[in-house]
Amino acid sequence: MINVVAVVLAGLLCIACETTPPVSPVPVDSTVSVFENVRADSTAGWIYYSLETGAIIPAESANSNAWDVRLPYIQCCGRTKAIAVQLNSGGNGPGVVQGVVITGRFDNVNIVPNGTVFRLDSPETPVVPLPVLGANVFFLYDIASHTLRPSPDKVLLVKTSSGKVFKMQITSIYKDANPNPTEESPIGFYHFRSAQIAQ
pLDDT at residue 18, as a whole number? 38
Tell me the one-letter amino acid at 86: Q
Residues in the chain predicted with pLDDT less than 50, given as ranges, are 1-29
- Domain coordinates of the chain in residue numbers? 2-198
pLDDT at residue 30, as a whole number? 59
pLDDT at residue 56, as a whole number? 95
pLDDT at residue 145, as a whole number? 87
